[in-house]
Amino acid sequence: MQNLTLEQKHQQFDEFFMIKHNIPVNMHLLEAGFLLPDVEDLHQHMPYEFQIASELSSIDTKALRTLRRLGEHAVELADFLNHQSRKIDLMMSLILQQHTKHEQSSLSVKFGGGGIVVDSENPLEVGAAIELKLFLREEASAIFCFAEVIACKPADDKYHVSLIFTRIREVDQDLLVKASLHLQAANLRKRKTQKNS
Instruction: Kindly report the backbone phi and psi dihedral angles of residue 170, in degrees, each rounded to the nearest multiple of 5, phi listed first.
Output: -60, -40
Give me the pLDDT at residue 45, please: 86
CATH topology of domain 6-47+99-196: Thrombin, subunit H (2.40.10)
Digit-coded pLDDT (tens) for 103-142: 478 899 999 999 999 999 999 999 999 999 998 877 777 8
Digit-coded pLDDT (tens) for 21-79: 999 899 999 998 889 999 899 888 888 877 777 676 666 656 666 666 666 666 776 67
CA separation for the pair 167, 25 (Å, rounded): 16
What's the pTM? 0.79
Q: Which helix (H) or strand (E) holds 4?
A: none
CA separation for the pair 92, 74 (Å, rounded): 26
CA separation for the pair 90, 138 (Å, rounded): 10
> What's 39's DSSP letter?
G
CA separation for the pair 21, 16 (Å, rounded): 15
Give me the pLDDT at residue 43, please: 84
**Nearest alpha-carbon partner for 129 in 150, 155, 103, 160:** 150
Listed by start position, the domains of the chain span: 6-47+99-196
Strands 24-29, 141-155: pairing kind: unpaired
CA separation for the pair 164, 145 (Å, rounded): 10
